[in-house]
Amino acid sequence: MRNEMATKKGMLIPLLIAFLASLAAKADDWKWSQYGLPKSELKTCIPDTRGKNDSWWIPYFHNKLKQPRKDLLFIGDSITDLWTYPADHRYPGGLNTWSRRYKEIATNFGVTGDKTQTVLWRLTEGKSLEGYAPKHIVLLIGINNLLQGDTPEDTATGIRAVVNYLRKVLPDSKVLLLGIFPCHSKPNDPIRAKIKAVNDQIKNPADSKSVYFADIGSVFLEKDGSITKEVMRDLLHLSPKGYEMWANALEPRLRVLFNGGN
């Protein structure tokens, strides 16, 4: 009997070792561990490209990397991207405001259509930060996640993943995380509640030492909570006037950021 138990025990030990090794192998299968990203099942937290849109998206963001690297970096989607589009463009933007306020001090890494996962891809596999350590970062992302069906909870988790990654790779940089801007005309539009839910959840990363949070979306609203095309030309993207309003609302927050919280 003792010999039989010893034999079974001898068989179990290798099996246990093999099982533990398989668990370790599975952990190593997480491609993004090389970048220090924690394993996640949420698509909003898994770096990804634009798939069928990669033919234009990858060259477009590669072209962004050719910009001079300034101490202030803006990261985001089309709302950030269109800062550098002129008012007479097919997609009118805020170039006049950008040229006057930010051209000499800032770099724009906004890319049209981006979500949290594509920003994560650009920062990791896309090597957007290679050789670049901006002192200050303004991050605005998440509206495309919501508009394309991600829940407020998953969207907020994705935004936090981006912030945490920036903190990991740029520990000396100050990050200003902006709440998602409101969109659509009516204040009772369902997207407004989702945006509020996300903004309520992403305040947590802010510590007012390295990460700051500002929800400035109210500046774009009329007294009754509605949005006009004078401010958001298609009730989502800012008009040239809207970009000036954004810059005005951003100015005191940037002063705090530049002064290290003082």
Cβ–Cβ < 8 Å for 93, 84: yes
Q: Can you give the CATH number for the domain in which 163 is found?
A: 3.40.50.1110
Q: 153 or 15: which carries more pLDDT confidence?
A: 153
pLDDT interval class at 28 (50, 70, 90): low
pLDDT interval class at 23 (50, 70, 90): very low
**Of 69-73, 108-112, 114-118, 254-258, minimum mean pLDDT range:** 254-258
Phi/psi class of residue 261: alpha, beta or left (left: φ > 0; alpha: ψ in -120 to 50)? left
pLDDT interval class at 75 (50, 70, 90): very high
135-154 mean pLDDT:
98
| pLDDT number for residue 205 | 66
Q: 29 or 154: which carries more pLDDT confidence?
A: 154
Kindly state whether residue 30 falls inside one of the protein's structural domains: no
**Residue 73 belongs to what domain range?**
51-258
Q: 208 or 210: which carries more pLDDT confidence?
A: 210
249-257 mean pLDDT:
95
| pLDDT number for residue 20 | 44
> Is residue 112 over pLDDT 80?
yes
Kindly state whether residue 61 falls inside one of the protein's structural domains: yes
Q: Long-range contacts: 240-243, Cβ < 8 Å, 24+?
A: 240/87, 240/92, 240/93, 240/94, 240/96, 240/97, 242/94, 243/82, 243/83, 243/93, 243/94, 243/97, 243/98
Domain count, the chain: 1
- Residue carrying structure tokens 């005005």: 248
Kindly state whether residue 156 falls inside one of the protein's structural domains: yes
| pLDDT number for residue 259 | 87
Kindly state whether residue 189 falls inside one of the protein's structural domains: yes
Kindly state whether residue 36 falls inside one of the protein's structural domains: no
Q: Which residues are catalytic?
A: 78, 234, 237
Q: Compute the mean pLDDT over every residue in the chain, rounded to the nearest whole number.
A: 91
Kindly state whether residue 21 falls inside one of the protein's structural domains: no
Kindly state whether residue 184 falls inside one of the protein's structural domains: yes
> Is residue 49 over pLDDT 90?
yes
Kindly state whether residue 177 falls inside one of the protein's structural domains: yes
